[in-house]
């Protein structure tokens, strides 16, 4: 039986976590039980009262341009070793993605143990979280290079500092990425607590002149044989060239205080200073649409002209995604809905109500007269800017006419995606 465990039942899944992820010690499991389990949803398959498969749906918010959407970080996907290759993972992921679509989440993301595990479920790699490995001497040299910035640790019990850091991080990420996981004081405090288990910390760098934050990063100390290293990740710093905003209607506006202008601390970025130490293998983030209509409506067009595209979508998991979709743009903003669907819970309509009428009539001369054939993972690769549109068309992952390709070039994909690797 597949069901969501009640809060008091979630600890029943701990033995499966210990079996599937032996690298996580008891300190981490206690931390996860205290900080994350109370606010997540744990979908489990049970047999004779024992959890034999699970998926953890951890809620987060993502920001694109000046809009915010709910999303989820999928973690803890595991099957009892004695029951593997029996379809349990497929059943759980199908249920989790179907529920996420019904709830109007545009997309979900995860950090895979291996890409090959999740590709059959329509997930595509969209981001490699940068990380750097420095010797103690190189780390001290890096800190010295940040002079004259004033360094301080993030203090989870200092609500004012955490709120300031979260607001600054969101402004800086908005300038560098088309979509990112939104930072909150609670999330930063959780990161700090997780880092502290490895004698690490979130470091804030301020300008001594005005006291404003100019840089944030996380650091933990690691041991590689007899050598000690410092691992830096979660680097956040402003960009000299902010990315163009990508947004859509039907999501709440961000408060004006979160949209202040910003500038980097110096002409040389911390990422540039760290370039010799970047790890070749970094945490990978994969994503895929959940509510396809809501996902398509996250995007805008480069031009204000009105145009339509019809999509013929294939999807190996989400039952509501396959079929023909109408995707319309008017004054740069998008609406999308499935042909013949009613009651879709997405940005275009309310639950239980017919989907709205098209913004304008689709004519026989329109490039949308025949559908663009595309899979859910190809849509993800294109719209997360993980692969160029022309490349996907050339490889046959997206099949369209030259006219449709010209229209698709007018759609603005995300200018990069950012997510940290905490749970």
Which of 251, 282, 313 lies at the terminal end of a domain, its last residue?
282
Confidence (pTM): 0.86
Does 128 sit behind a cis peptide bond, omega within 30 degrees of 0 on the bond before it? no
The mean of the pLDDT values for the chain is 86
Pick the last residue of a domain from 282, 312, 342. 282
User: What is the structure's pLDDT at 303?
Assistant: 84
CB 295 within 8 A of CB 289: yes
What whole-number distance in Å separates Cα of residue 348 and Cα of residue 342?
11
Judgement on whether residues 306 and 397 belong to the same structural domain of the protein: yes
What is the CATH classification number for the domain harbouring 95? 3.40.630.30
For residue range 200-213, list pLDDT tens digits in order: 999 999 999 899 99
Which pLDDT value is given to residue 280?
A: 76
The continuous run of DSSP H or E covering 405 comes out as helix 402-408
- Give the integer Cα–Cα distance in Å for 327 and 46: 40
Domain that residue 393 falls in: 292-417
Q: Confirm whether 11 is domain-assigned.
A: yes
User: In this structure, is residue 123 part of a structural domain?
Assistant: no
Q: How many domains does the chain have?
A: 3
Give rounded-to-5 percent helix, strand, coil for the chain: 30, 30, 35
User: What CATH number did the domain enclosing 203 receive?
Assistant: 3.40.630
Torsion of CA 116, 120, 124, 130, to 10 degrees: -30
The reported pLDDT for the residue numbered 332 is 84
Strand order in the sheet with 307-314: 398-399, 372-375, 307-314, 323-330, 333-338, 300-301, 411-412
Query: Which pLDDT score is estimated for 92?
Result: 97
**Residues 179, 88 within the same domain:** no
Q: What integer pLDDT is reported at residue 359 of this predicted model? A: 55
Question: For the chain, which residues score pLDDT lower than 50?
Answer: 240-267, 342-356, 363-365
Give start and end residues of each alpha helix (H) in 156-258.
Answer: 159-176, 185-196
What are the pLDDT digits (tens) for 371-386? 999 999 999 999 999 9
Give, for 91, the enclosing helix (H) or strand (E). Answer: helix 88-102
Residue 132's closest CA among 40, 220, 19, 259? Answer: 220
Q: Are 280 and 97 in contact (CB under 8 A)?
A: no
| Residue 25, domain member (yes or no) | yes
Task: Decide if 125 is inside a domain.
Answer: no
Together in a domain, 138 and 231: yes
Say what the pLDDT of residue 29 is: 94
d(Cα 60, Cα 7) in Å, to the nearest integer? 19
């Amino acid at each position: 039986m597949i069901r969501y465990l009640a809060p008091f039942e979630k600890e029943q899944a701990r033995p499966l976590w210990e079996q599937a992820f032996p690298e996580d010690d008891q300190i981490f499991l206690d931390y996860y039980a205290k900080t994350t389990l109370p606010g997540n949803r744990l979908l489990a398959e049970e047999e004779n009262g024992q959890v034999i498969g699970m998926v953890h749906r951890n809620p987060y918010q993502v920001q694109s341009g000046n809009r915010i959407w709910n999303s989820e970080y999928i973690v803890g996907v595991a099957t009892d070793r004695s029951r593997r290759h029996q379809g349990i993972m497929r059943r759980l992921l199908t249920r989790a993605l179907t529920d996420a679509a019904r709830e109007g989440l545009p997309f979900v993301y995860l950090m895979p143990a291996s890409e090959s595990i999740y590709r059959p479920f329509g997930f595509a790699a969209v981001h490699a979280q940068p990380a750097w490995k420095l010797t103690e001497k190189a780390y001290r040299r890096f800190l010295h290079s940040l002079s004259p910035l004033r360094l301080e640790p993030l203090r989870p019990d200092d609500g004012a500092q955490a709120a300031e850091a979260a607001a600054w991080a969101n402004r800086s990420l908005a300038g560098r990425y088309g979509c990112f996981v939104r930072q909150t004081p609670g999330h930063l405090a959780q990161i700090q607590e997780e880092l502290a288990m490895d004698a690490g910390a979130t470091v804030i760098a301020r300008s001594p002149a005005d006291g404003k934050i100019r840089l944030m990063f996380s650091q933990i100390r690691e041991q590689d044989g007899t050598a000690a290293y410092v691992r830096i990740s979660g680097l956040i710093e402003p960009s000299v060239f902010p990315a163009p905003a990508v947004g859509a209607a039907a999501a709440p506006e961000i408060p004006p205080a979160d949209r202040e202008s910003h500038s980097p601390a110096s002409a040389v970025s911390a990422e540039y200073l760290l370039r010799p130490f970047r790890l070749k293998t970094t945490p990978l983030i994969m994503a895929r649409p959940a509510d396809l209509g809501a996902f398509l409506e996250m995007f805008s067009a480069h031009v204000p002209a009105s145009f339509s595209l019809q999509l013929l979508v294939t999807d190996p998991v989400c039952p509501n995604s396959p079929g023909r979709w109408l995707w319309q743009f008017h004054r740069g903003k998008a609406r999308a809905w499935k042909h013949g669907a009613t009651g879709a819970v997405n940005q275009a309509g309310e639950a239980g109500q017919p989907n709205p009428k098209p913004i304008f009539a689709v004519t026989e001369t329109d490039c949308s007269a025949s559908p663009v054939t595309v899979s859910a993972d190809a849509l993800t690769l294109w719209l997360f800017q993980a692969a160029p549109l022309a490349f996907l068309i050339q490889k046959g992952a997206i099949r369209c006419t030259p006219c449709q390709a010209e229209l698709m070039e007018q759609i603005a994909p995300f200018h990069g995606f950012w997510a940290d690797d905490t749970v």
